[in-house]
Every structure is written in structure tokens, then in C-alpha cells.
Chain A
Amino acid sequence: MSDCRKNIRREPVTTCPPAPTESQPLLSVKGLRKYFPVKGGLLKRQIAAIQAVDDVSFEVRRGEVLGIVGESGCGKSTTARLLMRLIEPDAGQVIFDGKEVGMRDGMTVTDLRRHAQMVFQDSYSSLNPRLPVEDTIAFGPVVHGTARSKAKERARYLLNEVGLDPSRFGRRYPHELSGGQRQRINIARALALQPQMVFLDEAVSALDKSVEAQVLNLLLDLREEFNLTYVFISHDLNVVQYISDRVLVMYLGKVVEVGPIGDVYKEPAHPYTHALLSSRPSMDPEDRKKESPLSGDPPTPINPPSGCRFRTRCAFAEDVCARAVPALTPIRADGSWLAACHMIIPGSGHSRAAAINEATTGGTNG
């Protein structure tokens, strides 16, 4: 973690340069897809499919924090569960540390689960109420063949790392802890297997604001100490801005924009990102919004709109948006910032498409 990260602890405006790029990303996801069947009728035949995650591709660099944002039901959590193989994907490649997960010459799911771990949103239901928290933390190492005493030792070490005195908290049961303490236990549990990567699925969303800040700072400290890479899933745009180096915006199971957090938050390229960001309440009373930037609920993922999935709520929608699915297109030449919108694809047929720069700024102003 660089020094400028420390400076922004109180002032969540990221001025950090993106984390140093390595030749090989730690996690590379290509064309990930999951359709949940909807069964009905007398014979329980499949009558439709919920397109929860559709053709999602992205990369996570070693040591960075990638934030994933989006409205409820956009496939954020499903993506995390697919990456942990808690749900089997229908299609797509997941390459972890250069090895493809689930392939014969790649990495087994068991190996993946040693190198990548997950912290769940609900700190209550993600801890076994009948197990002292120390045993919960030690469970993973024991399953992976560590001697019980060694695993206990590691559990106590991690309890200390997450700010809980092992001699006082180790033998306690989850119901004897507060929400913040329980989430610390969850984090310790995720770190017990010494993973390289941690998926944080709404890990701080259920906490009080003050506790949330403590846990976020803890996460940043732990990242530095254990060289962790985070995929941070949240619906809270401010929290994502605070913790992430890069952000990925999802809408109805698709990636609409991905790029460095500072750039995306400053000049969102996709109209959805723009609408999402302007839905945040402003601290300045003069800057009050008169109308909601985004109206209505997202359409159902069972029969998503043709072409661009956002077109039904987009102010700039034109004929081309219904006809063709916009591909993720680089906004910067180096490919660090991508968005999936016809307005930024040169020659897509959208009236704003020809001049790329104008479309970008137009999105910001409008």
C-alpha cells in the first residue's frame, strides 16, 4: 500500500495511481455465464432462465482492490459465488494465478478454495452458532489437514490480528459477540487458509457506520500485512470509492463499465454508471437534485431487453441500442478503462457515437 492510500483514510478522494501492473493478473475471468432455470408446470420443465450473470469478463491484478457495484439483483453476489465455485458456472473460464480452475492441467476447486476465500454479508448466519469462534476459524485449516493444535494456534493468532483478544474471545459463541466483532471473526476465518485473494461480498453492508469504518480500515491493514488482493462487492458507492483501486459496474448480469476508481467516479463513461453515481445524495444543499437520475426498477433478468440491457431506462437510447449488444470498448488506448455503450463505440450507428469525447462528456453533463 502506498503512502497516498494512508492519506485518503479520512478524505475518500482517490488520487492514487492504479496498483503497479504485473504481466499476469492474479484472477482472470472470461465469458463467465450463469443462467438459473425457472421451472414450472406439471412436469417441472424449464420454462425460462434467469440470466443472472451473462458473459462477464474482467481481470484482477495482484495486490489491488477491485470494487464491484450495481443495484440489487445485478449479479454481483452470484459472480462471487461463481468464482468460489459455490455455484457451477454454465460457461466461462476462470484463470487463477495462471492456472485455469477446474481443468485437468489447471487448478482443482479444492486448491482454488485454499488460495481464494470469501467473507459473507450476514455476519450472523455465516457463523455456526454452536461452535466457539476459535473453532470456526480453525475449521478450514483442520479440513485441509493441519494438526488441530496448529490450527488453534493460527486461529488465536488471527483473532489477535483482527483486533480481538484470543484469550477473551476465542471460546465465545457468535451470539455473545456484536455484529462488528462477528464480521471480524468472519474475516479471520477467511484468512485462516492464508489465501492470496479474498472476495468480500457486502462484507460491511450490515454494519453500523462507525463499525463499518473500523472494519474497512482493518481490511486495508490486513491487505498490507498479508499481501492480499480483494474483490470488494458492495452497493455502497462511497465505501467502494474508499477502498477500491478499480471499479467494475454491473447491470442486469453484464459488465457495463470497468476502470480506475478515480476516473470512473469523475467522468463515468456509461450512462448507467453516471446515473448510479448521481443517485448519491450530495453533501452540498445547493447541489440538490430535483429529479431522480434513475427511475423505476431494473427489468427482470428473465427476459432482459434486447441489445443493450440498459436501454429501457437510458435517456440516450436509440434504435441501435435495441439491435446490437454493445461490447466492452476501451476508452483509453491502454485498455485500463472500458465501457459497454454504443455511444462510445465509433461507427456503432448511434448519433453520438462518432465523436467519442463528446459522448463521454455528454454522459457526464446529461
Chain B
Amino acid sequence: MSADSVAAAQAGEIPIGQLRSRGYWRSVWVRLRRDKVSVACAAVLILIALSAIFAPLLSPHDPYQGNVVKRLAPIGTAGYLLGTDELGRDMLSRLLYGGRVSLFIGLFPVFCALIVGGTAGIAAGFIGGRTNMAIMRLMDVFYAFPSILLAIAISGALGGGFSNVILALALILVPPITRVAESVTTQVRSYDFVEAARASGAGTWTIIRVHVLSNVLGPIFIYTTSLISFSIIVASGLSFLGLGVTPPTADWGLMLSTLRQAIWINPYAAALPGLMIFVTSLSFNLLSDGLRSAMDVRL
């Protein structure tokens, strides 16, 4: 009870340091750090990201320069740590460079979709009424198609290539983010503190900035991180189908596609790009789960 606890603390019974509160994001950080799986996944992802960023420094060979004599060398060949591909290019170098493309194609569309979908969803949720109806029914049109099929259709119509893949992926990621953003915003808007803020004389923008964003960005962000692995897999899938980036670009999905004919000759090397896709998307997924439970502070 309040008066009692005040009295107790004033009498020095409760050490004040113990009662000091820490901010929400700080507590999320502390909880996330305690989760071993999340820490491991974060470490793996940082490693992959760093190796992609520093690919030119780390690569032992030119990823686009093949050696016809040494095609499909097995893992552990001298000079070619992870073997070579069907054109005799160094696998390690290609995997490092491939990470740059694959991570970018995986992450950038998610980021674009977060901006577009988040804005649309928060607007729909906060304004409500006809605006909500218009935005959400538009999203339902996209929902009517299976998302992978939609991505294939868009890339197919626009043609392959780097920017078209990003556009296709961003388009299929916008509707689910919008839907999540809309539902959390609608929920937050119904709370009395929004009404109390209006009663304090605050305008719409101030209310959105101070009271709505602080409560909806967390859930939207969690959901978005869970889409990263999906985006990476769909991007790889598009490359695999020849609708994504075009050869000879080093990209995990495309490498998987071109190496599949070699699966009987050099199965381990052929499986490496797939392994990279698997590890990356799994790490993103587990980290997203960890983030979700760390942010799920019962309020």
C-alpha cells in the first residue's frame, strides 16, 4: 500500500537503490543479454555481417575469376579452403561476397517495408474510419495472393535484377507489417491515456509522437525482425528460380541454383550456400524470438 511503503522507505527500511527503476529499453537489453540463445545468434549474425562487409579483405581469391582446371575441387583443397564451384571459382570468396548481396537483399526490403507499412498501419489505426477502411482493404488485395507467388509474379513481370527483387520483396512485406501496425495502433488508441492526453490539450501530432509511437514501435519492430529470415529465404528462392540477381553475381541463392547440378560430384561444396542461408535465417528467427520475450515485459 502506498502510504505504508512511503513511510517504510522514509524510515529507511527499504534500501532506495533496490527500488530504483530502470527504463524500458534498458530492461529489455538486460533481459536479452541473459538469454544465451539470443546472444549466440547475435554473435553469429555479427560474424556473418562483418565477414560480408570485409569480404574484399578476407577473400583469398577473386570471386569472379575462375580456374578451368580446378573445377569442383573438394573442400580442403590446397589454396581453396572450401573448394571451387562449377566454373573453378573459389567457394570461400564467393560465399563472403555472396553474403553482401544476400544480406542486402534480405534486409533492405524489410527496412523499406517497415517504413511504408509502419506509416500506413499507424495512420490507418490512429485515424480509423474510412482511411482505415481504404488502407486495410488495399492490403487485403495483396493478401489474396500467396506472398511467394506474388513475389514471383512481380519479379517475373518486371524482369530479374537487383532493384526489381528488392521492389518485389518490399511489396510483399508491406501488407503484413501494415496489418500488425494497424492492430496495435487501434489498440493503443483506445486506451484512456490517449484520451487523457487530448484532455490535457495536446494536438494529434504530439499525441502520436509522445504516446502512440512509444507504445507501437516495439511490437512492430519485433514483428519486422521475424520477417528478415523470410525475406532472405524468398530472395534466395527468387535467385534460385532465375528471377533474382543474374549470374555471375555471387549470391547464396543463385550459387545454390547453379551448383545443384554438381550435387553428385561435390555435394558438400554444393550445400555450402544453402547452409549459409539456413544459419543466417535461423539466427535471425531465434534472435527475433529472444527479442520478443525480452520485450514482453508485463506492464
Contacts and interface: CB of A to CB of B under 8 A. Distances in A.
Interface of A: 81, 84, 86, 110, 113-114, 117-118, 120-122, 125-132, 136, 139-140, 143-144, 163-165, 168, 171-178, 180-181, 184, 186, 189, 192-193, 210-211, 214
Contact of A165 (B9, B201, B210, B298): B9
B211 interface: yes
A143 B197 CA distance: 9
A159 B151 CA distance: 55
A86 B201 contact: no
B157 interface: no
Interface string B1-34: 1110010011000001001110110000000000
Interface string B194-210: 01111111110010001
Interface of B: 1-3, 6, 9-10, 16, 19-21, 23-24, 191-193, 195-203, 206, 210-211, 214-215, 297-299
Nearest to B213: A130
A129 B215 contact: yes
- 4 tightest CB-CB pairs across the interface, nearest first? A140-B200, A126-B192, A130-B214, A175-B299
29 contacts: A113-B201, A120-B192, A125-B191, A125-B192, A125-B193, A126-B192, A126-B196, A128-B197, A128-B211, A128-B215, A129-B215, A130-B215, A139-B210, A143-B201, A143-B203, A144-B200, A164-B6, A165-B6, A165-B10, A168-B9, A173-B24, A175-B298, A175-B299, A176-B21, A177-B2, A189-B200, A211-B2, A214-B2, A214-B3
B197 to A, nearest CB: 7
B193 A181 contact: no
Question: SS class of chain B's interface: helix, strand, loop or mixed?
Answer: helix
Given A127-B193, A180-B2, A211-B2, A173 B21 contact: yes
A178 B215 contact: no
Contacts of A143: 197, 200-203, 206
Contacts of A180: 1-2
Nearest to B202: A143
Nearest to A133: B21
Given A122-B192, A131-B210, A163-B2, 17 more contacts: A86-B198, A113-B201, A114-B201, A121-B192, A125-B192, A126-B191, A128-B197, A128-B210, A139-B210, A140-B200, A144-B200, A163-B6, A164-B2, A168-B19, A173-B21, A173-B299, A178-B1
A122 B191 CA distance: 9
B201 A171 contact: no
